[in-house]
A = this chain, B = another copy of it.
């Protein structure tokens, strides 16, 4: 149960991802589905199989469009749901669920929407719908993957760009094997919502930047690149440039024809990311021996050296994240929606185990806080019982704050860390890139996150020093329920790129 519908869908999304199974979530007619459209968009980009249902007014009255009717119920969700449907008769509801399930889980997985009039639940079903199983993976065209393998094998200096679909498919092992067989450097695709590769692996080079020119710069010198399980490419600010460095050919593996369609460069292969890794491992020549493993030099580069704080000084984001990482168990799930200090987070907290980091593929705010509730429920239900730490900006915090109430109601061991800089720093960074500094409205009003956390039934504290943070985090880890930890940090506007 959630206090607002945006929370409900993200909770379901987190749960579905962390359990690797589709989830069902119900919201309240048109108002509810409206409130949660942003998180349906995020679920679509996350490729999370969800069946989202909303009630509709009783069929007896729908022609008159009474209060709380979902008018044109199939329209609102069109841009993002894989299928939107209101059964044409009550009797079809069960079979519509079967169809919804089949569409949600087939690749590329994503959310579907069913609108169900109130009185349908009282009507007899047509018949028990037949349970059907459907494919959840597609394999490669054999000739095309052979060609891809040939091109990789023949490259002088290939590079691997891995995406979140590898993580979704539980393919870290295959990703490592291919990288080691090819002896090629590995980048994470820009803004990967789930890390596709161990970030402490010597061949790991970090995450690619999300802009055209800078991304091409990072790939300079390679003659063949292959993107597996990610878009080509997830750009955010527009920085002119060539899509690829000169002389580089790009190969692209995705299980989403739409994604292949809109890529500006690259030859593409439709295939599940992990099946493609396995197919390539079989077919590529072994080049690794001739090439000693480099030491991983730069991952995602941190921003200019963090101020090392004197006691009494406000912490930097990097200091904060390093402090927390040093206190929590290795087996901790990290989640993030703190866009202006994401570089510091990746620096302080490399992801070394699969399924231990989640964020929103869409970049839309309001997903991570409620999604953490779903992830924590999955940790509990699965018996993995890892703690969940959520780094959430003081701007992001408010988009779906209501989920704190659900976290508290379920006594979930989640630590929400709010690095408070009092501004929308990411927007200030964007404004600087666009040469429009001084945009009004980017400073946050005076807010008290401790009170907000307590208001929703969480434990809550404010900490200002390394020691205070250490103590607060340890206390949070000992608690059975959620904790909100507000930590003032030095307000800096990082470069966007």
Contact = CB atoms under 8 A, between A and B. Distances in A.
A151 to B, nearest CB: 12
A67 B135 contact: no
A194 to B, nearest CB: 16
B445 A95 contact: no
A416 interface: no
Given A106-B270, A139-B140, A35 B399 contact: yes
Interface in A243-259: 243, 257-258
A34 B38 contact: yes
Contact of A34 (B37, B135, B260): B37
A275 B76 contact: no
A409 interface: yes
Nearest to A238: B58
Main secondary structure of the interface of A (DSSP, over half): loop
B406 A445 contact: yes
Contacts of A401: 401-402
A141 B210 CA distance: 32
A264 interface: yes
A444 B259 CA distance: 42
Contact of A63 (B34, B96, B398): B96
Interface in A23-78: 30-32, 34-35, 37-38, 40-41, 57-68, 71-72, 74-76, 78
Interface of A: 1, 3-4, 6, 30-32, 34-35, 37-38, 40-41, 57-68, 71-72, 74-76, 78-79, 83, 86-89, 92, 95-96, 99, 102-103, 106-107, 117-119, 126, 129-130, 132-142, 144, 191, 210, 212, 234-236, 238, 240, 243, 257-258, 260-272, 275, 362-366, 395, 398-399, 401-402, 405-406, 408-409, 434, 440-441, 444-457
5 closest A-B pairs by beta carbon, nearest first, are A452-B455, A451-B455, A34-B37, A31-B364, A139-B139
